[in-house]
Amino acid sequence: METEYKIFKKAGAFLSKYGIYFAFLLLTCILAIISPPFLTTSNIINILRQISVNGIIAVGMTLVIITAGIDLSAGSIVALSAVIAASYAHSGTYPLIVPLALGVISGLACGLINGVLIAKKRLAPFIVTLGMMTAARGMGLVYTSGRPVINLSDSYDKIGGGYFWGIPIPVIIFLAVVLCGIFILHYTRFGRYIFAVGGNKFAAKVSGINTDRIIISVYAITGALSGLAGIVLSSRVMSASPATGQGYELDAIAAVVIGGTSLSGGVGTIAGTVAGALIIGVMNNGLDMLNVSSYWQLVVKGLIIVLAVLLDKKSKNA
């Protein structure tokens, strides 16, 4: 009797840690059974490439949400950075490093403004980043007069369309961002401070942590990663439209929350976020492959997001 109970408790603890990964495996298995081409190497690469833009943003978003913040401006920053980077990426003008640097720097600058207003001026993250969402979208439109930036160089095309050892470059960039994110969040003092700020900001401050600096940093990082995502996105479609990236912040938030990070802060992992992004990506891909009616796709996607979080919550209570 007692041993049974112990086993149950152990299984519960195991599930609580890995619930979201089981949800992902379950979804994968179901799709693999009903659609055989789903589990081919080319399709797996395909899915990884498709989630890379959302995944890059979601890594930054995880840091922000762990501090109990939110960043609604990510999608607009994607568009602004994309058009700025692309406008310096016409063939035979600047070396590749110029559009890359400008894309990341413009994202970083937007993120810094967010962070300073939130940390120093004590404004609500929701409002500050809502303002940035609108303003950055507007800046992108002003910069381009509303027209897409086209005629990008072949070297710029390589970022989104190229391969390295058979792996698409967007996937490599995504993996590098994930590894850096895991390292920073879980293996550095800075990472521990991020958790501390989100868990109890007052206690963190009293114990000598420069909370303002932590908050400014996480928004700046998310801005820079959104800029990077903008570069990957524009080079993938070989054009940058100021209208692109709408709703990307919410896809990233969905990936973070599905991945078990609490919107009230203090709890979360990058690996969970990657699983969350994978669930969303696998779902999009699988439903398209099965030719599910697009109206129903929306219903199914909504249900799966809520179910994944429900399963995660239930396993944590077990």
Partner 1 sequence: MIFIKRFHASMNLIVAAILTIAVLNGCSRNSKTVHQIIIGVSYQDLQNEFVIRLQDAIRVKAKELNIRLVELDGQGYAEKQVSQIENFVARNVDAIILNPEDQYGSSPAVDIAVREHKPIIVVNSIVANLDKADAYVGSPDVEAGKIEALEIMRLLNGKGNVVLIQGPYGHSAEIQRSKGIREVLSKFPGAEIVAQQTGNWDRAQALSVMENWLSAGRKIDAVIAENDEMAMGANKAISAEGKQKKIFVIGIDAISDALMAVSHGEIAGTVFQDAHGQGALAVELAYQIVKGIKIIHTNFIPFQLVTKENVDNFIK
Interface residues toward partner 1, by CB under 8 A: 35, 37, 40, 42-43, 46, 49-50, 53, 130, 134, 141, 145-148, 150-151, 161, 233, 236-239, 241-244, 246-248, 250-251, 254, 284-285, 288-291, 294-295, 298, 301-302
Query: SS3 for 164?
Result: strand
Which sign, positive or negative, has the C-alpha torsion 26, 28, 32, 35?
A: positive
Whole-number Å distance between alpha carbons of 145 and 30: 46
To the nearest whole angstrom, how small is the minimum distance from the Cβ of residue 40 to partner 1?
A: 7
Place of tokens 């381009």: 144
Helices (H) and strands (E) in the chain, counts: 13, 2
142-168 burial string, b = 16+ CB within 10 Å, else e? Answer: ebbeeebbeebbeebbebbbeeeeeeb
To the nearest whole angstrom, how small is the minimum distance from the Cβ of residue 46 to partner 1?
A: 5
To the nearest whole angstrom, how small is the minimum distance from the Cβ of residue 10 to partner 1?
A: 38
To the nearest whole angstrom, how small is the minimum distance from the Cβ of residue 5 to partner 1?
A: 42
φ, ψ for residue 89 (rounded to 5)?
A: -115, 20
Contact 39, 100 (CB under 8 A): no
Residue among 114 and 285 whose Cβ is closer to partner 1? 285
Residue among 53 and 61 whose Cβ is closer to partner 1? 53
Residue among 269 and 273 whose Cβ is closer to partner 1? 273
Whole-number Å distance between alpha carbons of 316 and 307: 14
To the nearest whole angstrom, how small is the minimum distance from the Cβ of residue 260 to partner 1?
A: 20
